[in-house]
Structure 1
Amino acid sequence: MQENALRSWHALGLKILIIGDEPGTGDIAAELSCGHIEVVERNSSHIPLIHDLFRTAHTNTDTPYLAYVNSDIILNTQSADAFASMLTCDADEISDFLYVARRRNIPLSEPIFTGTENWQDHIRRLDEKYGTWDDVFAIDVFMFNRGWLKDIPHLAVGRAGWDNWMLFNARQQGCAVIDGSHDCAVFHPLHGYSVTAGGLQAVTVGPQAYKNRLFCGDPICTIENSATHQQQAGRLNMVSTTPPCDPASYAVDTDKRFAADIRAIDRQLKTGTSAVQLADNLRTILWRAKVTVPALEQSVDMHAFSHCHQALESLLAQNRITEAIRQLQDYMGQAYLAKLQSITHDGGRPIYIWGKGEAALRLISFLDRHAIFPVGIIDGLKPVAHPEQYGQSKLPVLSKPEAEALLATAEAKPYVLIASVHYLSIAQTLESMELMAESDFL
């Protein structure tokens, strides 16, 4: 993936500085005559830190503008034209700015610089057939003028939240935030996270993601709620005075994205993938499909998965996308469901869900399909003695003190399912109540 991305930047004539010492980095930097700095500050988990990446880039360049692009992102001529248009636009009211763009997901695992087909035509063809917009909180491209981006906290790259902090910081400093999604092409090959990042759980709700989010403010900043201007056909328009361009065209097509994800799995199965990689890729697909990802991770038997894969292909061919998503969810949730059924049916323990957002609604929907019925919701922010019910089932909502009292005194010890991006802090709270992961909560 990284080689495709770097070669696309080089083909566009962009000046490239690669920072890091991952295997193969030096070779591709030498081949493409890119700048290369191996040393980068890392945290205790050996993850590169954003503040040092940006400090190094500032110190070793002299251009008035810089751009950070994640190393798997493919750019094309449209991207370069959008960057150039931004830097030459006539916008007197803008001095300091942060330019961002939403990415397009495409199923791509093969090299595109093979000489058999024009690489831009190859990307365009994939995008037309399979491409979908990613969510507004996922940002991989940042362009900005030199000088204002300072005092970056120790944020971990490749973990959720650091990109949202960039938007939060820009707004806090009064900078213009330019949404270039309409003009700037940003292509993101679909992938999982097992190889380089420790898996979906680590990337989205693990310790480093949790630390990143502590700096992000509330609500979390996205392109949608943070942009002050939009770039449209080379012109900058203020969001407050100009309606968003073609809002329907920016909608996340979850069904199309799921189909593209399964196509990406097809390619990985043909080219070879490990059981660990496949399991993480399948969990990532469910996450992108905006359904519950079973919290109890399970390995994938490559032979057994072939039956599930055939069923998915059949359902997709009939355009029965919802059924296909459920088919994969049930396959990946076998161990999770078996554990919960044992807890409720055999152990007689009631289930409570800690979390009151969209994740909780998705979890309730998944459990309902399998006749597992939670009896209540825990909301750490709920005021004490304030009666509240949640969802169509009108589940009672407990405050944190009420939950603590229940967990300490209930005859049948409740089992807690965490449905929140704040998984780590909730897990720590439950452990402080002398509850144990998996035995008492997931």
Structure 2
Amino acid sequence: MPLSETKDFAYQINDVTFFTVPKPFEGGISIIQRNAIRSWIELGAEIILCGDEPGVKETASEYRIKHIRNIDRNEYGTPFLNSVFEKAKEASDRKLLCYVNSDIIFLDDFTKALKCVGLKRFLMTGLRLNIFLKEPVDFSFPKWGERLKEFAVGNGKFYEWKGIDYFLFTRDEALCKIPPFVVGRPPWDNWYIYNARLHKIPVIDCTGFVTAIHQDHDYRHVPKREEGTNWEGPEADYNRGLCKGYIALSIEDVDYLLSGTGALKKVMDRKRQSACFLKIGLSFRRTEKLKALSYYFKSLFYRPNLSAIKAILKLFLPGYYKKRNW
């Protein structure tokens, strides 16, 4: 979709509310979160900090941004996302909401991307670029964004498709009212993409246009974390329990790509489309499963599809699927 066709729904940064659930502002994570929040302030969006962790109230007051207290929590003190989403929506009157992890730095290409979307309803996300950044960003430097982007592109590494750190979306009920997932544990983010596609809300991958910089950190904050993992434990198991009957999708399973030139293009790659169709179809009644299988096998004529093969193995050979640790 060329830019000339998107002018009817060209959004601006003052149409956006960022909302996030910060960790305690202590030690290195305090620097990381301040870097992220300051980058959003520089863009000019509305910002809401959610929760009662140490330093959240004080940081919101310091930066003169909104603060929502009394977020519902589980027995470990971890916030529930349904409470976060519902209260953030109530506190904002902007056209677009953006849930973002508190360690993500955005640059001015995020603002430019808003003018390229051109859709009345959508969910936009993208890959994050991982870097080690342990010092405060000098936002007084006139070209801080250009300098940081050059460093990130030269030294960073993109994270995998299934790990998602931000969602920009319209105020659709299907996107704002979600199950009581806990923050920061898999696979709620993959479910969220599935949920959007289930409700026929277009999903956009803006990786080619938006630079989302993730500042690496440890995961000591995860309660009862399994040794050798970042997130696995009882809370991840709880989230997976809420995903029963749903299929976890990733950034590969989108409807549109936002290219580096700002063009919004419908995804026509049969590999990605057939995989997504198969994953969704297999979660429904038998007739839909047959349609999904038929669609997939037709696509094999064009290109082998590993994602869809995995989905078939999971359905018909669950023991083998589990053995391969997919």
Verify same fold: TM over 0.5. Answer: yes
- Say whether residues 1:61 and 2:87 are aligned partners: no
| Structure-2 residue corresponding to 1:190 | 216
Equivalent residue of 2:105, what SS? coil
Which residue is equivalent to 1:172?
198
Q: What aligned pairs does 1:40-55 form with structure 2 within 5 A after superposition?
A: 40-55=71-86
Distance in 2, Cα, partners of 1:196 & 1:25: 18
- Partner Cα separation in structure 1 for residue 324 and residue 81 of structure 2: 28
Q: For 2:191 and 2:112, how far apart are their aligned partners in 1? A: 27
Q: Output one character per residue of 1:260-297: Cα deviation in whole Å (capped at 9) or x when no partner.
A: xxxxxxxxxxxxxxxxxxxxxxxxxxxxxxxxxxxxxx
| Distance 1:190-1:23 versus aligned 2 partners, 3 A rule | same
The answer to whether the 8 A contact 1:70-1:141 is kept is yes
Q: Residue 15 in 1 paired to residue 43 in 2?
A: no
Residue 96 of structure 1 aligns to a residue whose secondary structure is: coil
1:113 — aligned with what?
138
Taking the aligned partners of 2:223 and 2:133, their CA distance within structure 1 comes to: 19
Measure the CA separation in 1 of the matches of 2:136 and 2:224: 24
Distance change (3 Å), C-alpha of 1:198 and 1:104: farther
Contact 1:98 1:142 in 2 (8 A): yes
Residue 149 of structure 2 contacts residue 211 of structure 2 at CA under 8 Å; is this kept in 1?
A: no
Residue 235 (structure 1) aligned with residue 263 (structure 2):
yes
User: 1:68–1:142: 8 Å Cα contact kept in structure 2?
Assistant: yes
Among 158, 163, 167, which residue is 2:184 paired with? Answer: 158
Are residues 1:213 and 2:213 paired? Answer: no
Hey, what's the Cα distance between the residues in 1 that align with 2:224 and 2:33?
A: 18
Amino acid at match of 1:7: R
Which structure has the higher relative contact order (CA within 8 Å, separation 6+)?
Answer: 2
Within-5 A mapping of 1:380-395: 381-382=318-319
Distance 1:9 1:157 in 2: 20
Q: What count of residue pairs does the alignment treat as equivalent?
A: 250
Counterpart amino acid of residue 236 in structure 2: A
Name the stretch that deviates more: 183-192 or 211-220.
Answer: 211-220
* 3-state SS, counterpart of residue 164 of structure 2: coil
Q: Find the counterpart in structure 2 of residue 290 from structure 1.
A: none
Aligned-pair identity in percent equals 32
Which residue identity does 1:208 align to in structure 2? E
Structure 2 counterpart SS, 1:204: coil
Give the aligned partner of residue 27 of structure 1. Answer: 58
CA distance in 2 between counterparts of 1:23 and 1:121 reads 32
Pairwise CA distance, 1:243: 9.8
Answer yes or no: is the 8 Å Cα contact 2:85–2:177 preserved in 1.
Answer: no
Quote the offset at 1:114 in angstroms: 6.4
CA pair 213-85 structure 1, distance change in 2 beyond 3 A: same
Note the alpha carbon deviations across 1:95-129, whole angstroms, 9 max, x for none.
43211111111111111136468432442232132
Give how far 1:35 is off: 0.8
Distance (whole Å) between structure 1 residues aligned to residue 257 and residue 171 of structure 2: 21
CA contact (8 A) 1:82 1:184 kept: yes
CA–CA distance in structure 2, aligned partners of residues 200 and 230 of structure 1: 36
In structure 2, relative to structure 1, the CA distance for the partners of 1:120 and 1:242 (3 Å cut) is farther
Change in CA separation of 1:96 and 1:75 when aligned onto 2, cut-off 3 Å: same
Structure 1 unaligned residues grouped into runs of 5+: 245-357, 359-379, 383-389, 391-396, 400-417, 422-442
Alignment of 1:35-434 (within 5 A): 35-86=66-117, 89=118, 91=119, 95-113=120-138, 115=140, 118-148=143-173, 149-195=175-221, 199=225, 201=227, 203-216=230-243, 219-224=247-252, 226-232=253-259, 233-240=261-268, 381-382=318-319, 420=325
Task: Tell me the TM-score normalized by structure 2.
Answer: 0.69
Taking structure 1 as reference, are residues 155 and 112 closer, same or farther at Cα in structure 2, changes over 3 Å only? same
